[in-house]
Amino acid sequence: QSVLTQPPSVSGAPGQRVTISCAGSSSNIGANYDVHWYQQLPGTAPKLLIYGDTNRPSGVPDRFSGSKSGTSASLAITGLQAEDEADYYCQSYDSSLSGHVFGDGTKVTVL
């Protein structure tokens, strides 16, 4: 069990909006460390989706957006597409563990 808690799964129909939460504590997200998000398609390496809480790397569609408030962060996917079906992970730094940490991951299913 990670110190960053994500729901195991979320689902939505094509075109809908889904959000993935990443709940932390005062030693990680609440300490204002940046939150980053990764997408992992089956059988592939993770790919950076959002960095520095809200920033999209070049090439990432603007359907993906990140936010952070207090001890939690969220990833939103609007206009859900079949190709968005993947596992999504949040990542931050934890001062109690003195290292980076990942959330447990959330599987997104497109109905």
Partner 1 sequence: VQVVQSGAEEKKPGASVKVSCKVSGYSLTEVSIHWVRQAPGRGLEYMGSFDPEDGEIINAQKLQGRITLTGDTSTDTAYMEVTSLRSEDTAVYYCATATKIEVPAVDSWFDPWGQGTLVTVSS
Interface residues with partner 1 (CB under 8 A) are 2, 33-34, 36, 38, 40, 45-48, 51-52, 57, 87, 89, 91, 93, 97-105
Shortest Cβ distance from residue 57 to partner 1 (Å)? 7
Rounded Cα–Cα distance for residues 111 and 95 (Å): 39
The two structure tokens encoding residue 87: 């596992």
Q: Give just the sign of the alpha carbon dihedral 23, 101, 50, 8.
A: negative
Shortest Cβ distance from residue 45 to partner 1 (Å)? 4
Rounded Cα–Cα distance for residues 92 and 35 (Å): 5
Shortest Cβ distance from residue 69 to partner 1 (Å)? 17
Q: How far is CA 29 from CA 13, 25, 109, in A?
A: 30, 6, 26
Residue 72 or 92: the one with the smaller Cβ distance to partner 1 is: 92
Residue 52 or 61: the one with the smaller Cβ distance to partner 1 is: 52
Residue 48 or 76: the one with the smaller Cβ distance to partner 1 is: 48
